[in-house]
Amino acid sequence: MMIKKAIFAGSSERVDQKPKALYPEFAFIGRSNVGKSSLINCLCQNKKLAHTSSTPGKTQLINHFLINDSWYLVDLPGYGYAKMSKTGRAKLSRIINEYIDRSQEMMLLFVLLDSRHDIQQIDLDFLISLGEKGIPFSIIFTKCDKSSQSVLEKQIEKNRNHLLEYWEELPQVFLSSSETGMGREEILSYIDAILNTLT
């Protein structure tokens, strides 16, 4: 799928504040700093679209980006940033959960996990909660450029096996790098296939 046009369509804290024009939404979630905003920029080939930072906790609102005048990429705040105040974390958690629970236009949630690390309890808890709520999700391992091929393969295998302790089968899993564009075509094709089922 070609992204011909990608424009910022607004920031919100609640579903009732999101852009008035309703279109299918594909949202990105994961621990703070995992690379959500960078991946959205990579998909759109525009480094200035979503704001990124090497300091965790950059995205604090729900940001909608209108793609090809017909669907949205949604950049969500990250969860689990330990250094943020308890009230700050509670606020982000409220924003995230309200969006996930109430956004009827959300077709799929991409859950991002850092390809370099073991899956953490907070990620497992989050994934399990999605399962319980029946929210459709896919997994994207990010920052794959940061490891050698052999280290990457080992870690992904370990993480897959860890997830398989909880699920009989895994959802769609992607490997990505916002630096090299790895995974970009696959993720966009996957979105395209879902959009095609809607029309």
- Point out which span in 8-16, 46-54, 93-101, 120-128 binds ligand GTP (CB under 6 A): 46-54
Query: Which of residues 83 and 154 has its CB atom nearest to Mg ion in the complex?
Result: 83
**x/- string (CB under 6 A) for ligand GTP, residues 141-180?**
-xx-xx------------------------------xxx-
The separation between CA 83 and the C-alpha centre of its own chain, rounded to angstroms, equals 21
Counting DSSP H helices and E strands in the chain, the numbers are 5, 7
C-alpha closest to that of 59 among 83, 82, 31: 31
The one among 24, 56, 88, 171 contacting ligand GTP by CB under 6 A:
56
Rounded to whole angstroms, the Cα distance separating 51 from 107 reads 23
The one among 23, 43, 49, 58 contacting ligand GTP by CB under 6 A:
58
The one among 6, 25, 26, 36 contacting ligand GTP by CB under 6 A:
36
Rounded to whole angstroms, the Cα distance separating 179 from 193 reads 25
Q: Does 53 bind ligand GTP (CB under 6 A)?
A: yes
> How far is the CA of 143 from the CAs of 17, 71, 105, 120, in angstroms?
32, 26, 28, 16
The one among 2, 16, 54, 199 contacting ligand GTP by CB under 6 A:
54
Query: Residue holding tokens 């992607």?
Result: 174
C-alpha closest to that of 141 among 168, 165, 163: 163
Site for ligand GTP in 79-138 (CB under 6 A): none
Query: Which of residues 38 and 138 has its CB atom nearest to ligand GTP in the complex?
Result: 38
Query: Which of residues 19 and 88 has its CB atom nearest to ligand GTP in the complex?
Result: 88
Q: Find the residue with minimal CB distance to Mg ion.
A: 59
- Point out which span in 13-21, 36-44, 95-103, 156-164 binds ligand GTP (CB under 6 A): 36-44
Rounded to whole angstroms, the Cα distance separating 177 from 149 reads 13
Query: Which of residues 14 and 83 has its CB atom nearest to ligand GTP in the complex?
Result: 83
* One-character DSSP codes across 108-159: EEEEEEETTSPPPHHHHHHHHHHHHHT--EEEEEE-GGGS-HHHHHHHHHHH
Q: Does 13 bind ligand GTP (CB under 6 A)?
A: no
Give the one entry of Mg ion, ligand GTP, none that residue 115 binds, where binding means its C-beta sits below a cut-off of 5 to 8 angstroms depending on kind: none
